[in-house]
Structure 1
Amino acid sequence: MTDSPTPSLELENTTDIADDQLPLEQLRKMFAHHYAALHLGPAVELSVTFVDEPTIEELHVRWLDLPGPTDVMSFPMDELRAGTAEEPVEDGILGDIVICPSVAAAQAEGHSTDDEILLLATHGLLHLLGHDHYEPAERSEMFQLQEQLLSSFLGRPAPTSATAGQ
């Protein structure tokens, strides 16, 4: 797939982890790839924030009433869906993805923390586009698209996570 225009993407790191220890540039490239594949125009806004465990735990309890820290959470805004080649999505606000790098590092098995963060960001993006994994058919569809997008971007098999989306 050819390079596409950089999406309207805000990346914010609120952790104690140095920016150069996070795959920020790779995320920019990955989202450009995913936007092109999903027919989302560069004006479609997305925010990704990296947070520490206490912060994501507080969000997890407040929004999902679930205890403990989690790896990724998504907060949709305009309830956008992927476009098509004939009808791309030109603008709107996808919403926010919140990722906890320390949880990502702890659960990355058989692949790097950077790969886990890319996986979680892809997972979060699909949630923002209305995908879910509560029912077996939905789960199969979402995880198949997640693997397809990430494999296509990486040019190799996508990493998998036993806990992403649990």
Structure 2
Amino acid sequence: MGIEVNNESGYEVDEAEFAALAKFVMDEMHLHPRTELSILFVEVEPMTELHVAWMDEPGPTDVLSFPMDELRPGRVDDPAPEGLLGDVVLCPEVAARQAATSGHSTTEELLLLTTHGILHLLGYDHAEPEEEREMFALQRKLLLTFLAGR
């Protein structure tokens, strides 16, 4: 897997941990071993600009996903084709506020958001209640399994 993690946020993150999480999620979703993904941590201002430009919504958000080759999950016996999965952009400052409200660490929030962003790249959504149940259950399972293996 080609996983690139860049931190332009000024917030301290363990880039290796986020790369390991992404590899775990991509393996669990049966993506081709040469699938590429980019994870980028940014400050509030660039996230606000992205949020306005791409979602037409004001202010910063926690995570945005930008799919490239519209890959979908594969199966054990039939992995997804090789390609560019896309970009996950995270804003640690927004995540820190959410983490404080939720009662867990900023790192835990960012790991959750990274998993969430990757699932969006794979076509999962949460616009409808049934979609939300499916996506959030998978997100929870993937993240808890990853954390249990650390």
1:92 maps to a residue whose letter is G
Q: Which residue of the partner structure matches residue 151 of structure 1? A: 144
Aligned to 1:37: 28
Mapped to 2, the partners of 1:125 and 1:16 lie a distance apart of 23
Give the equivalent residue in structure 2 for 1:28.
19
**Which segments of structure 1 move beyond 4 Å, counting only runs of 4 or more?**
none
Tell me if the contact between 2:44 and 2:93 (Cα under 8 Å) persists in the aligned partners. Answer: yes
Between the aligned partners of 1:49 and 1:42, the Cα distance in structure 2 is 21
Alignment-derived partner of residue 46 in structure 1? 37
Counterparts of 1:5-154 in structure 2 under 5 Å? Answer: 7-17=1-11, 21-108=12-99, 109-154=102-147
Could you tell me how far 1:90 is from its partner in structure 2?
4.2
What's the TM-score, normalizing by structure 1?
Answer: 0.85
Instruction: Please tell me the root mean square deviation across aligned C-alpha atoms, in Å.
Output: 1.2
Given residue 5 of structure 2, which amino acid in structure 1 is its aligned partner?
L
Amino acid at match of 1:144: A
Percent of paired sites with the same residue = 50
Aligned pairs, how many? 147
Unpaired runs of 5+ residues, structure 1, are: 1-6, 157-166
> Unpaired runs of 5+ in structure 2?
none
**Could you report, residue by residue, the CA deviation over 1:63-88 in whole angstroms, capped at 9, with x for unpaired residues?**
11101110000000100001000101
Instruction: Provide the secondary structure at the position in 2 that maps to 1:42.
Output: coil
Q: TM-score, normalising length from structure 2?
A: 0.94
